[in-house]
Every structure is written in C-alpha cells, then in structure tokens.
A and B are shown apart, each in its own frame.
Chain A
Amino acid sequence: MKSKILYLLILATLVLSACGAKPAEPSVVKAGWAGSPDSLNPGLAVLVEAYTIFELVYDSMYDLNLDGSFTLSLADSVTRSDDGLVYTFKIKEGIKWHDGQTLTAADVAFTYNLYKDTPEYPYLNGYYTPYFSSIEANDKNEVILTLTEAIPNLESQLVFLYVLPKHIWEGVNKLEFENLEMVGSGPFKMAEYVQNEFVRLAANKEHFSTPPKVDEVIFQTFENQDALVQALKTGQLDMITEMQNTAVATLQGTENIEVVIGAPFSPGVTDIIFNQTAPENCPTPDEGGICTGHAALRDRNVRLAMAHATDKQKLIDLILLGLGSPGLTLIPDGLGVWYNNSLKDYEYDVAKANQILDDAGYLDTDNDGTREMPDGSSPLTFRLNWPSDSITAPRTAELLSEMWGEIGIALEMQAVDPDALTSQCCPAFDFDIMIWGWASDPDPSALLYVYTTEAIPTGSSETGYSNPAYDELYAQQQTELDAAARKDIVWEMQKIVHDDVVYIIPYYEQATQAYRTDRFTGWITDQPKVELSDTTSLVVIEPVK
C-alpha cells in the first residue's frame, strides 16, 4: 500500500515536471555582488551598483570601452564648431525605447536639459553639466549642444548622462520619481527589481548595436563575502564581481572557475594623507576649519623620509596578497594615458630616510626612541586614523607603525567611524595622518582637483596642499583642447605633487572577478581593464553548448 502511494507520487511529480518543461530553457546569467543600487533614478543615484544597471538599461552618447577610449553610441556622427563651443550630434534613426516608441533627438535634448536644470542631482548636474549652455533638437534628428567654454573632455562628461525617454520623464516629479519601470533603450530591460535582494534584467534582442545573446541577467545581493564565493563554487552563481583577495587562491584551484585580475573599470585609489595645511590656508571657522595638524608634516623633508621608510612591496604582499602595484600619485595606472609612468618612486631605504631627518635637525634628544622637532618642542608623534569599515586599513596602520618606527616616528593609531572621519578630515583638517581613498572618473580632472588650493575649503582637498604653479596647470588642462598637450600638462602636474610628497600612495589595487567556465563562454578578459558585469561582456557571452 505504502509503496503504491510512493509510486503515484513519483508519477505525479514526473507528469508535473514534464508539463513545466519548456522547449528551450532561457539562458540566465546569474551574477552576485555585495551591494545593491540605491536608486534607479539616474539623477539621484550615487552607488556604483546603480550605475552598473544604468549602463545596461540605458544608452548614452558615448560608450566607455575597456581600454579607456570612447566610441559614439547613440549618434552616427558628431561635428564640432571651430571655436570648440558647438557640437552637433546626428542621432541614429530607428532606435526604439523598450516600450516601443522611437528614440529621437528630442529625447536627448530633453534629457540633457533635465540634468542641466536640476541642481539637486549631485553628480549629473553638479559635475557633468556645468559647461552646458543650451541643448536643442532640430527636425533633422540632430542635437545641438552649446558649451559655455571649450573643454577637452566632453566625451567623459557625456558618457554618464544616460538618455531618458521624454514621454515618461516629462510628466513626473524628477526628485521623487523612483523609476522602477526603468524604460530605456539599452541592451537590457528591467524585468524585476527588489531592493537589497536582486535586479533581474531581460535581454533587448532588438537593440540597435549590441543585442545580447543570453536571455536574462540577474544581479543578486550577497551581504556576506564568503557566501558570495561559496555560491560561485557551488554553481548557484555564474559570475561574481568582487571578492576578498584571500579567496583568489582557492578559486583559482577550483574546477570550472576562472579568476580574472586586472585594472578596475573605475579605478579607486588608497591614499595615506598628510595634513600639511599652512595656517594661512586654513579654512575659516565658518567654513569649518580647525587645523590641528602636526607642524612637522608641513616639512617636505619629514614626508620624504616617511616615503623612503615605506616598504610598498611589503604592503602589497601582506595586505593585497600581491594583487596590486606600487602607487605614485592620485592618478592610478588604470587611467591609461593620463597616468605618468615616467615618474620614479622613492626607493625603500631606511638609512637614507634617517639621514634626511638627521640633516633636517629632527633628532632624538631625549633618547626615548622618538625624534623631536628641531627646536625640541614636541616629539614626532602623529595621530593616524582610518575609517572603521575598512578591512585593509588596520593592517596597513600596523605595518606603517612598524616601518616608521624604524626612523623614530611614533603613531597614535585609532579607527574612526567613516562619517566622523569625514568631519575630522575636511575641511576641518583636525588630524595628522589618515588612511583613506578615492573613487575616480575616467577623466583625470576630478582627482587632480583634489590637490588644488581651491579645493581646500570645499572639503575635497584632504591635505591642505597649496601650490600656485600646480593651480595654474590645473586651470590650463581644463581648457586645453589638444589631447597630446593636455596629456603633457597632466603628467607635469603628477610630477609636481610627487616631488612635493603630498601623499604616500601605498598601492593601486587590482580588481578581481571570477566566472564559471561551464556555463557561459566568451567573457572579455584580454582588455586593459576588467569588468565582467559591463555591457562589453554581457552582450557577447553565450551559453556553453
């Protein structure tokens, strides 16, 4: 009797599963990441996860390639007026929105005006449209963009200005619109979104340039990095976009898994920040200036000695497990041509570092192991702070304390809540040394700005560094239209700040991603930058037969 019921159950299951089976299973790429988009409204979003989704669902005037170059996307051609102020883009014919309507120059003009006229959009307005004077569409399906100033980097300004459908956005409150339907024109369309859980995208097989070969892509949020790696190992995921470096060796030894290592798509920088704000540059109390930095850090000799006493290779080996390269300035090697690879780093040489300090008069007069100021007033004991959410900073701090201890410099180390650190940092300058970092833009201008005098009261400058010659070059590169000449200026600027030892950049970290080789094939891994979750890969991969 019992076995009969079991038999019936099995039969029923078989019948049910047969009914459920479709002729062809849709091919679904399952990607795991540690975050989740903050908002699907491009104007309001801040997090990189949101931008990943925008890249897939929307198109913009230019595509950013994995080698750092730009190619026209929505337009067939572009012409620039002789004075460099007026750009005319000829929009491709017949591009369709996901809801079937046609994308025209009017949509593009509407979008650019929307970004330009909405100061509440922190990036798209604040950083990418300040040079926009007017944007119009004509009846030849052309967009005419007039600038207030001729700038050299319009491509990098337009690349994140995702083009939105006018017929949807003109009727909504642009500050409250959650944009959950997300009608775009890109190679993928929004299928389902549950915040903090997953984003499910369906392929737009009618895309005008890069229709995907897979049917769906799912991004699932993992709050736990171990689970993320485990999910890839057990085949619950096909690809992961981030992992701790400790996982790399394990994954490399796992069957059917390929680990890809390379420069990150949007390279970040880790920096060791010296507060060198001169009293005359201290922001006013109204601006929030406190300026309690140790006077010794304003002396280039001290910073230079610390640079010579920093064993960057050891930091890379112990903290990144080798997955990084020694850093020079805030412009990382991931920025391609903009990175000045001709600079020579300060060699690791403790004797030389000690000599520099001896010569500059910083001697250990009371023989307690820590040097004093030349006038004997105070010891070279610096406060060292880092954001408490950083995984690598505590070990970096420990190693720095050891290394700098060799040259008679003592540290008072403390992790600080990141938000509290911001209020200590800038523009308060209420610290001596910090370990922190920056995100970057494809154009070097953003990170070069951090070194300017102008940035001191705004909170962008972390060091209080001020050099009129540098400021002059910064202004020049902002308007230099000739790419080669601009590159020379940008390289010169890196030389200046490297010579002045404004920061110690311990390393440029490499991106680590991994995918399963038994599920999809064709991932782009031979480019200077690694980004498996970018359209570049997701539109070309195919299921393994």
Chain B
Amino acid sequence: MNRSRAILRKIGWAFFTILFVVILNFFLFRVLPGDPARAGIRDPRLKKEAIEMLRVRFGLDKPVINCFEALNPIKLGSCAVNPLDTQFFIYVRNLAQGELGVSYHTNRPVADILSERLWNTVLLIGAGQILSIIIGVIFGVFAAWKARTAIDFTSVVSSLIVWSLPTFWLAIILLFWGSNNGLPLAGKATPGASSLPLLQQWADIGRHMLLPTITYTIVYMGEYTLIMRSSLMDVLSEDYILTAKAKGLSTFQILKDHALKNAMLPLVTVIAINLGFTVAGAIQIEAVFSWPGLGGAVFEAVGRRDFPVLQGAFLLIAVAVIFANLIADLTYSYLDPRVQTE
C-alpha cells in the first residue's frame, strides 16, 4: 500500500517535470537572439517581403505570448492580444493534439525527422552503451577481485586513460585506421543498398556501425570499470564477505551470490542516467562519422533557429531522461529493500 503510493507519487513528479520542460522549451529558444526567418540565409536576393512571408508561414508574425510588455526583447505581446492567437497557445494546443509542427529549415514534419534520427541514434548509441557496460563491468569486477595487483593497476590506469581520451581525436584516429582497411567512412548505409536482400542490408549497416560503436565503447567503458571496481571493493571489505570466505565458498559464488548485487547500486544510477542521454546522441561521434543521429539534428537546428525541431528534440530527450531516472528509482527499491519508500 505504502509502496504503490510512493510509486504513484514518483510518476506524478515525473509527469510534472515533463510539463515544466514543455513550457521551458518554448521560451528557452525564443530568448536566443536572432530571427529564424533569416538564420542561415545570407543572400541579397532575399527581399524584405520574402522574409516577411517566411515569418507569416512559420507563424512568427504573431506575438509570442500576451500581457508581458515589460519583457520585450523576445517580442511579447500586449494584453490587447487575444491569448488564443499567440505563438505559445498555438504551440501548446498543437502539442496537446500530438502535433510537433513542421521544421522551418526542411519543411518536413518534425515527428518524421525525429523518428528517423531517433532510430539511428538508438541503434548506434544503444549498441555502444551495452558493449561499454558489459566490458566495463567485467573489467571492474576483475580489478576489484584482484585489488592491488598488477591486473588491478593496469585496468585502473587504462580506464582512466580511455575515459579522458578526447572523443573527437579517438574517432578521427579510428576513422583513418578503418578507411585503410576498407571500412566505410560516412553514413549508416551504402547508397543503393536498400535493393539488397535484408540480411545483406543489415550486414551493411553493421559495417557502417563498427567504427562509431568501437569509439563509443572505448570512451565510455572506463567510467563503468572505475565505478564497478570501487563499489565492489567496498562491498568486498564487508564482514559478511569474510564470513562467506570462511564458509569455504568459491570466488565465483561469493561474487555472484553475495557481492555483486550490492555493488551494482551505484552503477544502476550511472547506467540509468546514461541510458536516458542515449537519446541525445553523441554529437562528436556523429559528426566524425557523419552518422545521421539526433545529436547532429539538434546541432544543426540550433544554428538555424529551427524552433519546432529544437522543441521536439528537447522534449524527446527530457522525456527519455526523466523516464530513465524513474526506472532507476523504481529498480532501487527492488535491488535494495533498505532504500525504503518513505
């Protein structure tokens, strides 16, 4: 009873946070200086009337919101403006209908753009995340079990090194290495591959994923190794582990049945947060390998003041992060009953 109420409350908070993000998203981008109708276009052929037409088409000729005359840098309207005819109301109304709008830059529905990009990002970063978690945890367990030996030392030092490697640099190095070994340098599929049988298409995507995934895995696994190691070492110094040893349990049994579950707690937090940000993509890796992911879409949209894409992407990222945190919260009480739901 107590527990389900607590869960409900957590879900309620998550929902409230998303609402806040919805509102913040709208104003965040409009506070930026500049004008979407002129961003990225610099051409004497673009006449004043044409720019005005662009504004009308995007709905930017309407006041942002009414009754905020004092804050005028972002063109807020007076109280005489019908609140239903403001950009803010139209945004909220469209969102309530599940409508994310149309990109100013590409004139395509934002939902289409984001779903294409989201799938690409989840594919790449998802694979990288899973690999880096698995490899990182295994190294971490080894390092902790063999604490203060050469194995431990090597794994700590190498983790620190890969964790602090500049992503961009590592990606470029791998790109040059890969290109000399026949690996593709850009994109997620070979142009024209869509006519191949499905299996070959997947193999083609796999080849394109190889280098970015390796980069991602190397850069992120260090973090997991270090957290896993220190967490597990804490647990291994507990009295009950000594007891388990005294009972004559094997190393594997001690790790599996007694130590790991407790040591996983801090890792769950990090994994949850990172999984949430998976959606945001990894701009640097996407940029080096020309991977058409969400990170790149956001980067481009900022430069062009493409408000609908930005709002949609930030909403998506916020929902993913909030959701991942919610899951982490809920997993906690399962993993460790001491984390009681007050």
User: What is A's interface to B at a CB cutoff of 8 Å?
Assistant: 28, 30, 32, 38-39, 41, 44, 46, 119-120, 122-123, 125-127, 175-176, 178, 191-192, 194-198, 200, 216, 218, 220-224, 226-228, 230-231, 233-234, 236, 389, 417-420, 422-423, 436-439, 441, 446-447, 449-450, 455, 457-460
Within 8 A of A (CB), among B28-75: 32-35, 38-51, 53-54, 56-57
Minimum CB distance partner of A34 in chain B: B290
16 A–B contacts from the bound complex (CB under 8 Å):
A38-B105, A122-B46, A127-B45, A175-B57, A221-B187, A222-B186, A223-B296, A227-B288, A227-B289, A230-B175, A231-B179, A233-B179, A419-B34, A423-B33, A438-B44, A460-B46
Minimum CB distance partner of B305 in chain A: A419
Minimum CB distance partner of A199 in chain B: B191
Contact in complex: B192, A218 (CB < 8 Å): yes
Chain A residues whose CB sits within 8 angstroms of the CB of B39 once the complex forms: 418-419, 422
- Given the interface contacts A120-B57, A178-B107, A436-B42, does A422 sit within 8 Å of B186 by beta carbon? no
Minimum CB distance partner of B117 in chain A: A196
Contact in complex: B185, A231 (CB < 8 Å): yes
Least distance between A372 CB and chain B CB atoms (Å): 32
Contact in complex: B35, A221 (CB < 8 Å): no
Query: Hey, what's the 0/1 contact readout for B97-127 against A, CB within 8 Å counting as 1?
Result: 0000010011110000100100000000000
Contact of A417 among B34, B44, B48, B51 (CB under 8 A): B34
B287 contacts A by Cβ under 8 Å? yes
Of A175, A197, A200, A438, which is in contact with the most chain B CB atoms at under 10 Å from its CB? A197
Least distance between B55 CB and chain A CB atoms (Å): 11
Chain A residues whose CB sits within 8 angstroms of the CB of B175 once the complex forms: 224, 226-227, 230
- Report Cα–Cα, A236/B290, bound state, in Å: 15
Chain B residues whose CB sits within 8 angstroms of the CB of A234 once the complex forms: 179-180, 185
- Given the interface contacts A126-B50, A420-B33, does A438 sit within 8 Å of B186 by beta carbon? no
Chain B residues whose CB sits within 8 angstroms of the CB of A457 once the complex forms: 48
Contact in complex: B45, A192 (CB < 8 Å): no
Contact in complex: B179, A446 (CB < 8 Å): no
Of A216, A228, A436, A460, which is in contact with the most chain B CB atoms at under 10 Å from its CB? A460
Contact in complex: B286, A125 (CB < 8 Å): no
Chain A residues whose CB sits within 8 angstroms of the CB of B54 once the complex forms: 120, 122
Chain B residues whose CB sits within 8 angstroms of the CB of A222 once the complex forms: 185-186, 290
- Report Cα–Cα, A417/B29, bound state, in Å: 14
Minimum CB distance partner of B116 in chain A: A195
Query: Hey, what's the 0/1 contact readout for B170-202 against A, CB within 8 Å counting as 1?
Result: 001001100110001111110110100000000
Chain B residues whose CB sits within 8 angstroms of the CB of A236 once the complex forms: 179, 184-185
B292 contacts A by Cβ under 8 Å? yes
Minimum CB distance partner of B196 in chain A: A20
Contact in complex: A460, B186 (CB < 8 Å): no
Contact in complex: B42, A438 (CB < 8 Å): yes
Contact of A418 among B40, B102, B172 (CB under 8 A): B40
- Given the interface contacts A38-B105, A123-B45, A127-B45, does A224 sit within 8 Å of B289 by beta carbon? yes
- Given the interface contacts A226-B172, A234-B180, does A195 sit within 8 Å of B44 by beta carbon? no
Contact in complex: B48, A418 (CB < 8 Å): no
Minimum CB distance partner of A288 in chain B: B35
B248 contacts A by Cβ under 8 Å? no
Minimum CB distance partner of B291 in chain A: A223
Minimum CB distance partner of A439 in chain B: B43
Least distance between A387 CB and chain B CB atoms (Å): 9
- Report Cα–Cα, A30/B191, bound state, in Å: 9
Chain B residues whose CB sits within 8 angstroms of the CB of A449 once the complex forms: 44
Chain A residues whose CB sits within 8 angstroms of the CB of B287 once the complex forms: 223-224
- Given the interface contacts A46-B41, A123-B46, A417-B34, does A176 sit within 8 Å of B192 by beta carbon? no
Contact in complex: B185, A230 (CB < 8 Å): yes
Contact in complex: B53, A178 (CB < 8 Å): no
Contact in complex: A126, B45 (CB < 8 Å): yes
Q: Is the interface of B mostly helix, strand, loop or mixed?
A: loop
User: What is B's interface to A at a CB cutoff of 8 Å?
Assistant: 32-35, 38-51, 53-54, 56-57, 102, 105-108, 113, 116, 172, 175-176, 179-180, 184-189, 191-192, 194, 286-290, 292, 296, 303-305
Contact in complex: B49, A126 (CB < 8 Å): yes
Chain A residues whose CB sits within 8 angstroms of the CB of B35 once the complex forms: 419, 422-423
Top 7 A-B pairs, shortest CB-CB distance: A419-B34, A126-B50, A127-B45, A458-B48, A198-B191, A420-B33, A122-B50
- Given the interface contacts A220-B191, A418-B40, does A196 sit within 8 Å of B292 by beta carbon? yes
Contact in complex: B186, A218 (CB < 8 Å): no
Least distance between B265 CB and chain A CB atoms (Å): 39
- Report Cα–Cα, A420/B302, bound state, in Å: 12
Least distance between A112 CB and chain B CB atoms (Å): 18
- Report Cα–Cα, A228/B43, bound state, in Å: 27
- Report Cα–Cα, A457/B47, bound state, in Å: 11
Contact in complex: B176, A192 (CB < 8 Å): no
- Report Cα–Cα, A233/B186, bound state, in Å: 14
Contact of A220 among B49, B186, B288, B304 (CB under 8 A): B186
Least distance between A48 CB and chain B CB atoms (Å): 10
- Report Cα–Cα, A459/B55, bound state, in Å: 15
Contact in complex: B192, A44 (CB < 8 Å): no
Minimum CB distance partner of A446 in chain B: B44
- Report Cα–Cα, A447/B43, bound state, in Å: 9
Contact in complex: B290, A221 (CB < 8 Å): yes
Chain A residues whose CB sits within 8 angstroms of the CB of B113 once the complex forms: 195
Least distance between B283 CB and chain A CB atoms (Å): 10
Chain B residues whose CB sits within 8 angstroms of the CB of A420 once the complex forms: 32-34
Contact of B51 among A233, A455, A459 (CB under 8 A): A459
Contact of B46 among A127, A194, A223 (CB under 8 A): A127
- Contacts A46-B40, A226-B175, A439-B42 known; 19 new A-B pairs at CB < 8 A: A38-B106, A126-B47, A127-B45, A176-B102, A178-B107, A194-B189, A196-B296, A220-B187, A220-B191, A222-B185, A224-B290, A418-B40, A419-B40, A422-B34, A422-B35, A422-B39, A438-B42, A438-B44, A459-B51
- Given the interface contacts A126-B47, A224-B289, A419-B32, does A44 sit within 8 Å of B38 by beta carbon? no
Chain B residues whose CB sits within 8 angstroms of the CB of A176 once the complex forms: 102, 107
- Report Cα–Cα, A223/B185, bound state, in Å: 10
- Report Cα–Cα, A356/B302, bound state, in Å: 45
Least distance between B212 CB and chain A CB atoms (Å): 12
Chain B residues whose CB sits within 8 angstroms of the CB of A44 once the complex forms: 107
- Report Cα–Cα, A439/B292, bound state, in Å: 27
Least distance between B243 CB and chain A CB atoms (Å): 48
- Report Cα–Cα, A122/B106, bound state, in Å: 14
Chain B residues whose CB sits within 8 angstroms of the CB of A32 once the complex forms: 186
Minimum CB distance partner of A330 in chain B: B44
Least distance between B3 CB and chain A CB atoms (Å): 46
Minimum CB distance partner of A216 in chain B: B192
Of A125, A175, A195, A449, which is in contact with the most chain B CB atoms at under 10 Å from its CB? A195
Minimum CB distance partner of B296 in chain A: A223
- Given the interface contacts A192-B191, A236-B179, does A223 sit within 8 Å of B53 by beta carbon? no
Chain B residues whose CB sits within 8 angstroms of the CB of A450 once the complex forms: 44
Minimum CB distance partner of A177 in chain B: B107
Contact of B179 among A200, A230, A455 (CB under 8 A): A230
Chain B residues whose CB sits within 8 angstroms of the CB of A447 once the complex forms: 44
- Report Cα–Cα, A17/B229, bound state, in Å: 49
Minimum CB distance partner of B287 in chain A: A223
